[in-house]
Amino acid sequence: MKGLRIGLLGGSFNPAHEGHRHISLLALQRLRLDAVWWLVSPQNPLKPEIGMATFENRFEMAKQVARHPRIKVSDFERKLGTRYTVDTLRMLSRRRRQDRFVWIIGADNLMQMPRWHRWTALFEMVPVAVLARPTYSPRSLSGAAAHRFRRNRLPDRMAGLLVDQKPPAWVFLHTPLHNASATQIRSE
């Protein structure tokens, strides 16, 4: 049986917002995915617990915002007790061997990727799709992660083939931008 082509969008979703939905819909189309899974993190190790809504509230809000049959909100990390993305990806790959995954991040996360636990292993485990974000995109392409894997970057026009590529492989998608930001929403 042929597996599914699944995009994984991890995050705190504190709160989930239309920007998350926007990039998920773009990823479904541009990466030719069967589904996008939102992996709601119990607690991002790079973010403070202060100001973080409860997991239950963030999970429920994400389900309300997703509103699409091919966007699934998942508590996979909470059930497994994984703390780091690389561990979550390892567990998903073992449990769903028939499926193919691509990790979806915004340009802001490409910039901070070297702060992630075992970030190079993440790039070597699954293909990565980076979506443009207002103010971050130009700087992210000159950052350490983009530089380290510069030879593995696919042209934007090949995005639909990304999930089939042997890692490390990544693409930067120049897409219509959405100005929603969880930080900005929390400050309002």
71 with 18: CB under 8 angstroms?
no
* CA-based nearest residue to 6, from 69, 71, 65: 71
Q: Return d(Cα 31, Cα 175) in angstroms, integer.
A: 12
Q: Which of 150, 144, 11 is nearest to 85 (CA)?
A: 11
Number of alpha carbons in the 13 Å side-chain half-sphere of residue 126: 28
CA distances, 132 to each of 27, 50, 79 (Å): 11, 28, 31
Nearest to 61 by CA among 186, 167, 151: 186
Total-model pTM: 0.89
**Interval 46-59: pLDDT, tens:** 776 787 899 999 99
Ordered structural domains, the chain, with CATH: 5-187 (3.40.50.620)
Residues 72-119 pLDDT 10s: 999 999 998 998 999 999 999 999 999 999 999 999 899 999 999 999
